[in-house]
């Protein structure tokens, strides 16, 4: 149809999209084994894609098209995170379920699951539409779904391998817990939700037994006095016995002056000093024992309400003395276990105190803060109560402030993998030093990963408890469950989700008894997506296509998908082997003023809205051209109409200029090939070809090193500065020369320009597939997909 006089990117998209989609289908159906695979980081199906997602999807598609032009056959299947807490919370909201989690069961788990599936279908359609508009090559017909039975069975293989390695452990531990979601969270999830909060800063007195002095103890969580077990001091700190206001108090030397001012102690004098290690073993009287009878009972034992010397105590904070609540602190529980102190945790699933909490029974624990402070005041045990603002972790989904509490759960004990995860991470290419160091630091922590969740819509933990002998029966596939089943109420084709899997009773693998029940946990949604390389590929594909040569996600995935992929990959391999050989961490997309995008601020740029206003290739080029891929982007839609538009408009006009003039002279520019300069080439022709070779090298090296912006800038420089502003003006005089003997000179210029534009079309194709496909077909009469990547 030829090139229009004016570039219309929307019209170009409509023309090119069907061809590009057909080419992708043909490539996927081609005979022979693929060379490599992109493992899609599955977006969660509970929300609309936004500008941040656009950046990541464009980078992946750019890599796919680049490697395809280099002659590789790349498997690029879509992937969808279709279960887990985010989807479940959305379903609760849609169903109008509020309050305790038990209300879900009152309405029927089947109702919740049906709503989860409806939400997933709805948002899946929106994501597929954005991918189509954006020109993303991911094959949705071959997509993996984390909620599918096939995927779940393969994910269970990770658990089997973890058990074989001795990594998986059932434990009672202090876990970060969300009161709103009513489930445990992993250490990685905790790190995603820090924000400023206001909490009490409480100083109270605990009288030493047989002594007139009182310990001045500090905490920012007054409710944990209900479960108080010990007071900790630093063994090497000097503690001062001071006289103030007619009583004696014991405070750390480091904080003495600051505390006296903060608590308004007035004049005081130091009576004596003692090392923290010398306070070890001293007994104290808890000021609230009359309010919590069960705590009073425990206080009658030898271990409870004793001073302990522990090196973790921060002498520069509070009073230099901290209270230890084994039910509410990871370090606290470790100390209690080491010292044989019983853990007292009268807190239920709704994070309310149980009857064992005495006066505080039935109260949400954080609501008990005020009551604890008032009781201390009434007993003369309050030293000072202030408010502090600090960074405190909140649930990454519900936004509720987290509570640490002792609960039973299932953990990957990552320290049991030795150095394997660190060694695997160290062998990966990250392209940039900063994200590499950050990720290696996170991996080296080897913190236990709590993989169990007390929810419903997720991969069930496949373990059954026997009421007869107490042993556990693990079953890691549908076949194993069917073979062990005493009854199958829903037949052999039951769905591998709650509530259907919970209706099955299996024979105990230890005693053969049938009084068994499945432990009602599901797996962490990050465990689901972390199994993607293993669960989305067949056994033969895994051995051939893993490790994946290139994965990319946002910088927040250093504690998310990149981390869980690595851990599960090492567990499956039983060796220091990551499922990816390179990982690019992308910077966040911010608003034009550098603020984080959020619904509450009203500054979120929806992907569908953006693509409704702007041509896809302009959006693609902008995100790839704007900045270094690991840096945040201050997204400003106005910038799409500046340099990115100028690049495409200039390239379009150059194609139109060549087509018009070469046609007038009867020169077939499809003859333009690689190699040396054509016969009759002038100095400007040779210069243009030399600059072209330099550009090919710069783009290739830039893409290989994930300096994507540098590759884009190299194309920009060649198109605008070299071709449009330098070469064409230099060649114009020859092209307009119609004297005898000038035809050969004009033909050489046309062929040089054609070679340059054909090469630029290929270089720019991974960035702007619609425009380059259209230009290449109209100017040269052949599909760009049939071309090979230019070689310098």
Q: What distance lies between CA 738 and its chain's CA centroid? A: 64
Query: Of 648, 667, 649, 646, nearest to 658 (Cα)?
Result: 667
Measured from the Cβ of residue 246, the count of other Cβ atoms closer than 10 Å reads 5
Alpha-carbon distance of 333 to 185, in angstroms, equals 17
**φ and ψ of 426, to 5 deg:** -70, -25
Could you give phi then psi for residue 751, rounded to 5 degrees?
A: -70, -35
Tell which phi-psi region holds residue 673, choosing left (phi > 0), alpha (psi between -120 and 50) or beta: beta
Taking the C-alpha atoms of residue 448 and residue 42, their distance in angstroms, rounded to an integer, is 24
> Encoding tokens for residue 20?
């590009």
Nearest Cα neighbor of 704 from 544, 548, 549, 547 is 549
Give, as one character, the DSSP assignment of residue 290.
G
**Residue 400 to residue 183: CA distance in whole angstroms:** 12
- What is the C-alpha to C-alpha distance for residues 404 and 733, in angstroms, rounded to an integer? 78
Distance of CA 471 to the CA centre of its chain: 36
Active site residue ranges: 42, 81, 526, 557, 561, 596, 599
Nearest to 251 by CA among 229, 228, 276, 278: 276
Residue 58: in which H helix or E strand, if any?
helix 51-69
Of 228, 217, 205, 223, which Cα lies nearest the Cα of 325? 228
Helix (H, G, I), strand (E, B) or coil at 741: coil
Q: Write down the residue that tokens 């949604």 correspond to.
A: 525
Q: Which pair of structure tokens corresponds to residue 778?
A: 């109209």
Contact 154, 542 (CB under 8 A): no
The residue among 542, 560, 617 whose CA lies nearest residue 439 is 560
Q: What is residue 511's three-state secondary structure?
A: coil
- Both structure tokens of 416: 């049991």
Rounded-to-integer distance, Cα 70 and Cα 313, Å: 58
Could you please report the per-residue DSSP string of 341-365? PPP---B-TTSBB-GGGGGGTTSBG
Longest dimension (CA), the chain: 119
What Å distances lie between residue 207 and 216, 217, 270, 284, 381, CA to CA? 9, 11, 18, 5, 9
Residues near 479 by Cβ (< 8 Å), separated by ≥ 6?
none
Q: How far is CA 560 from CA 77, 107, 279, 441, 563, in A?
A: 21, 33, 43, 14, 5
The token pair at 83 is 């279960």
């Amino acid at each position: 149809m030829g090139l229009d006089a004016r570039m219309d990117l929307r019209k170009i998209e409509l023309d090119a999209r069907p061809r590009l989609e057909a080419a992708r289908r043909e490539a996927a159906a081609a005979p022979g084994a693929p060379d490599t695979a992109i493992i899609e980081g599955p977006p969660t199906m509970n929300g609309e894609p936004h500008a941040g997602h656009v950046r990541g999807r464009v980078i992946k598609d750019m890599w796919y098209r680049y490697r395809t032009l280099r002659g590789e056959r790349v498997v690029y299947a879509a992937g969808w995170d279709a279960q887990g807490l985010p989807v479940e919370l959305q379903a609760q909201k849609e169903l109008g379920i509020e309050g305790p989690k038990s209300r879900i069961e009152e309405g029927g788990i089947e109702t919740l699951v049906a709503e989860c599936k409806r939400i997933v279908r709805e948002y899946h359609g929106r994501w597929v539409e954005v991918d189509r508009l954006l020109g993303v090559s991911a094959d949705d017909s071959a997509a993996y779904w984390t909620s599918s039975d096939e995927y779940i069975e393969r994910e269970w293989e990770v658990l089997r391998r973890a058990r074989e390695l001795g990594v998986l452990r059932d434990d009672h531990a202090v876990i970060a817990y969300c009161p709103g979601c009513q489930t445990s969270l992993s250490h990685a999830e905790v790190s995603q939700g820090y924000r400023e909060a206001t909490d009490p800063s409480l100083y109270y007195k605990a009288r030493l037994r047989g002594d007139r002095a009182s310990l001045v103890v500090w905490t920012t969580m007054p409710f944990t006095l209900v479960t108080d077990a010990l007071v900790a001091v630093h063994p090497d700190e000097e503690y001062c016995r001071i006289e103030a206001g007619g009583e004696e108090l014991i405070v750390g030397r480091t904080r003495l002056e600051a505390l006296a001012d903060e608590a308004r102690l007035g004049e005081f004098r130091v009576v004596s000093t003692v090392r923290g290690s010398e306070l070890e073993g001293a007994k104290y009287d808890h000021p609230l024992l009359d309010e919590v009878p069960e705590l009073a009972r425990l206080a009658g034992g030898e271990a409870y309400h004793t001073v302990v010397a522990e090196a973790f105590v921060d002498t520069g904070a509070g009073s230099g003395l901290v209270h230890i609540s084994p039910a509410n602190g990871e370090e606290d529980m470790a100390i209690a276990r080491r010292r044989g102190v019983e853990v007292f945790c009268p807190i239920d699933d709704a994070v309310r105190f149980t009857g064992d909490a005495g006066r505080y029974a039935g109260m949400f624990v954080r609501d008990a803060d005020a009551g604890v402070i008032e009781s201390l005041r009434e007993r003369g045990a309050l030293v000072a109560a202030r408010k502090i603002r600090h960074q405190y972790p909140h649930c990454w989904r519900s936004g509720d402030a987290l509570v640490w509490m002792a609960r039973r759960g299932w953990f990957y004990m990552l320290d049991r993998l030795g150095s394997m995860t660190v060694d695997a991470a160290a062998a990966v290419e990250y392209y940039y030093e900063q994200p590499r160091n950050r990720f290696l630091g996170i991996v080296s922590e080897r913190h236990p990963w709590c993989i169990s969740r007390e929810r419903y819509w997720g991969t069930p933990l496949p373990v059954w408890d026997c009421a007869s002998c107490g042993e556990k029966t693990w079953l890691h596939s549908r076949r194993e469950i069917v073979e062990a089943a005493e009854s199958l109420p829903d037949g052999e084709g039951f769905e591998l989700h709650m509530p259907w899997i919970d209706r099955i009773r299996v024979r105990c693998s230890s005693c053969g008894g049938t009084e068994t029940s499945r432990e009602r946990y599901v797996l962490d949604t990050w465990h689901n997506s972390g199994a993607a390389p293993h669960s989305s590929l067949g056994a033969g594909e895994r051995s051939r296509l893993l490790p994946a040569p290139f994965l990319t996600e946002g910088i927040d995935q250093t504690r998310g998908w990149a981390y869980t992929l690595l851990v599960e990959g090492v567990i499956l391999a039983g060796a220091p082997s990551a499922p990816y050989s390179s990982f690019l961490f992308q910077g966040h997309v911010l608003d034009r003023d550098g603020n984080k995008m959020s619904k509450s601020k009203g500054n979120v740029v929806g992907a569908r809205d953006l693509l409704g206003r702007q041509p896809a290739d302009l959006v693609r080029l902008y995100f790839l051209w704007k900045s270094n891929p690991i840096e945040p982007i201050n997204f400003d839609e106005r910038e799409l109409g500046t340099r990115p538009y100028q690049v495409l408009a200039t390239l379009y006009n150059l194609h139109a200029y060549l087509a018009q003039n070469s046609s007038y002279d009867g020169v077939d520019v499809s003859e333009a090939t690689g190699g040396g300069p054509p016969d009759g080439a002038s100095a400007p022709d040779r210069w243009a070809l030399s600059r072209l070779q330099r550009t090919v090298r710069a783009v290739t090296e830039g893409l290989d090193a994930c300096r994507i912006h540098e590759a884009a800038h190299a194309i920009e420089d060649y198109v605008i500065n070299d071709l449009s502003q330098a070469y064409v003006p230099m060649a114009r005089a020859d092209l307009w020369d119609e004297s005898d003997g000038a035809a050969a000179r004009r033909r050489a210029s046309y062929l040089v320009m054609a070679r340059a534009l054909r090469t630029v079309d290929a270089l720019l194709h991974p960035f702007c597939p619609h425009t380059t496909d259209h230009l290449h077909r109209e100017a040269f009469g052949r599909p760009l997909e049939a071309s090979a990547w230019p070689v310098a």
